[in-house]
Amino acid sequence: MSIQFYNTISRRKEAFKVIDQNKVRMYTCGPTVYDFAHIGNYRTFMFEDLLRRYLEFRGYEVVQAMNLTDVDDNTIRRSRERGISLTELTDEFKAAFHADLKTLNIQPAHLYPEATRFVAEMIQMVQNLQDQGYAYQTEDGSVYFNIAKYGQYGKLAHLNPDEMVSGERVTEDSYEKEGARDFALWKGYKAEDGDVHWESPWGKGRPGWHIECSVMSTELLGKHFDIHCGGVDNIFPHHENELAQSVCATGEEFVNYWLHSEYLLVDNKKMSKSLNNFYTLRDLLEQGYPAEAIRWMLITTHYRQKLNFSVGRLEESQKAVNRLREFRNKLTKYVGNGSDDASDRIRIARDQFTVAMDDDLNISGGLAAIFELVRWGNRSMDQGELSVEGAKSIIITIERFDHVLGVLDMDSGLDHQVDEAFIEEKIAQRKAARANKDFAAGDTIRDELAALGIELIDTPDGTKWKAG
């Protein structure tokens, strides 16, 4: 049996066939780097990680590109609010994003294209669409995609023709389905864009959000590639618009499989910045929840089901990870002299895991197969039936499964969390010691913090600190 994926565009499960032999090309819409990502965002990135890891488990070579949206309505607005340049803002959150991916043991993408580095190619694609009559310029130096010119518009999001009003325009990057209109490919310069602008055939301006992903995906993965992912809120308008732009610009098919993950909820509402009901990874680590519990919680509900965040779920998740880790430890130390080499059990577990996961990443079925092996293995060790060779084979099998789960060896992330209040308190104690001319005590505090990787910097405005 082949892998089946639920394809958003057809609304059904389809057998997975790769365009280029064994090499899967996959584009995953990345974060808008204007703030810390919240764990709702990470649910989507974690689903994409699971997908890639499973394809690798099945022997495919995967090339993954994940863009970083470093210029759009949100990034410009936030940099102006904070009174810093766009680059200063986005550099800060690009770094935070990469650090979080590492903590969550999300495999790094092969390519992280940044929108601001592809503006020339974006201008070319917009020009191409205009030359072919798919786009038109407006008086303010913007260019819009004319949705009436593309007969398939609405196919991905299954738009009702009544919901589409061509000839009317929407300027914002994000809008609701009911507001399907001609959308901005290129945005003519406005005062609120500050110093964020590029020269173009239509005057000074900047790209719209949707064209960014059309350009970066086709530049890096080719005009026609295998998989495109995001959260369900990306289906409309972002992916609908990407699809229209790409197909019209290249005249070729764009993507074979569109996969979208459902939301992480809080009290049955989407976790989001705008509802202010979100947790960042840092928030949870500071509260003492290890990264592996967060990872487990986010990957073990099927990606097309909504998942309610709860502390209880995190605690359950930790127990599940511990069970797996303890099982491996027990196997490692096993010295019994039974004769069962576990080969039958291993084959059953591998088959069941693969059958389940082949079915659109049915993770519950996959986990059931793993924990069945854990139960059997524990019993077999307790009764001394397992051979030492059998224990070794089970370890190899569990580690193969863990290529998909990615939890056995991950770091909890807790040691790296700096308790800011503690540091501030130490800085205050050092200041008091120095004021009393007790420089030795002051130095002891400095050394104590240095041992924790915290460097103190004395400035005319007081002592600042930096985590090394």
Smallest distance, ligand AMP to C-beta of residue 17, A: 25
Which residue among 36, 118, 144, 263 contacts ligand AMP (CB under 6 A)? 263
What string marks each residue from 119 to 138 as x (binds ligand AMP by CB under 6 A) or -? --------------------
Helix residue ranges, H only, 13-165: 39-57, 73-82, 86-103, 119-131
Nearer to Zn ion, 72 or 292 (CB): 72
Which residue among 127, 234, 317, 354 contacts ligand AMP (CB under 6 A)? 234
Nearer to ligand AMP, 79 or 397 (CB): 79
Place of tokens 């495109």: 228
Nearer to ligand AMP, 262 or 360 (CB): 262
CA-based torsion, 246, 248, 251, 252: positive or negative: positive
What string marks each residue from 84 to 113 as x (binds ligand AMP by CB under 6 A) or -? ------------------------------
Smallest distance, Zn ion to C-beta of residue 352, A: 35
Element (H, E) at 404: helix 388-405
Max CA separation in the chain (angstroms): 83
CA-wise closest residue to 189 among 204, 200, 202: 204
3-state secondary structure of 391: helix
Smallest distance, ligand AMP to C-beta of residue 231, A: 2
Please report, in angstroms and rounded to a whole number, the separation of the first and last CA atoms in the chain: 50
Element (H, E) at 207: strand 205-207
The number of residues that bind ligand AMP (CB under 6 A) is 16
118 contacts: CB under 8 Å, gap ≥ 6:
212, 215, 216, 219
Which of ligand AMP, Zn ion, none interacts with 442 (beta carbon under 5 to 8 A by kind)?
A: none
Which of ligand AMP, Zn ion, none interacts with 41 (beta carbon under 5 to 8 A by kind)?
A: ligand AMP
Smallest distance, ligand AMP to C-beta of residue 459, A: 34
Which residue among 249, 264, 373, 407 contacts ligand AMP (CB under 6 A)? 264
Which residue among 181, 270, 426, 430 contacts ligand AMP (CB under 6 A)? 270
Which of Zn ion, ligand AMP, none interacts with 114 (beta carbon under 5 to 8 A by kind)?
A: none
Nearer to ligand AMP, 230 or 406 (CB): 230
CA-wise closest residue to 256 among 47, 1, 441, 24: 24
Smallest distance, ligand AMP to C-beta of residue 401, A: 25
Place of tokens 């290129």: 186
The stretch near ligand AMP (CB under 6 A) out of 10-18, 269-277, 296-304, 457-465 is 269-277
CA-wise closest residue to 404 among 27, 46, 110: 46
> Half-sphere exposure of 234 toward its Cβ, with a 13 Å CA cutoff?
27
For 7-19, the DSSP string reads ETTTTEEEE---S
Residue 152 burial by Cβ neighbours in a 10 Å radius (0-12, 13-18, 19+): exposed
> Distance of CA 55 to CAs 116, 292, 361, 365, Å?
31, 22, 10, 17
Smallest distance, ligand AMP to C-beta of residue 230, A: 4
Nearer to Zn ion, 239 or 328 (CB): 239
Distance between CA 263 and CA 270 in Å, rounded? 6
| Residue 366 binds ligand AMP, judged by CB under 6 A | no
Smallest distance, ligand AMP to C-beta of residue 40, A: 3
Q: Which residues bind Zn ion (CB under 5 A)?
A: 29, 213
Question: Which residues inside 58-87 make contact with ligand AMP, applying CB under 6 A?
Answer: none
The stretch near ligand AMP (CB under 6 A) out of 40-48, 88-96, 123-131, 247-255 is 40-48
Chain positions contacting ligand AMP, by CB under 6 A: 29, 31-32, 40-41, 43-44, 230-231, 233-234, 263-264, 270-272
